[in-house]
Structure 1
Amino acid sequence: MQPSAAQHTLKPDTRFDGGDPDCGNGLLLLVRRHIDPLPCGGLLEIASIDISVDEELPAW
């Protein structure tokens, strides 16, 4: 079981508000744009209002 954002204690390097698209409607492309500039080992926090994202995009 993956920890939810409310349970982790690590501070993200950056935060991305994905809004309402789900993974099949462009969210993955937007996430990629925010991951690419992160340093190796960097942490990206992703917020979304789409309920399917918790299952479609678990913590890696």
Structure 2
Amino acid sequence: TSSFLDEGPTWSPNGRVLMFFRETPGANGAPSLYSVDITGRNLKKVSAAGNGSDPSWSRLRE
């Protein structure tokens, strides 16, 4: 079976996307960032330099 641990959830400012980090067995203990929309669909692994954990949101710079 595959198991994982999801931690550090944080909602986007518009409340439509949840970002969290996931630790999976066999990933050498390296967590990865993921996002999912409010429907629970569209799960996406987010690219991050190095290991990702404790996500937070910030405003885009113009």
TM-score by shorter chain over 0.5: no
Bigger relative CO (Cα 8 Å, ≥ 6 apart) = 1
Higher Cα Rg, which structure: 2
TM-score by length of 1: 0.23
Which structure shows the higher helix fraction? 1
TM-score, normalized by length of structure 2? 0.23
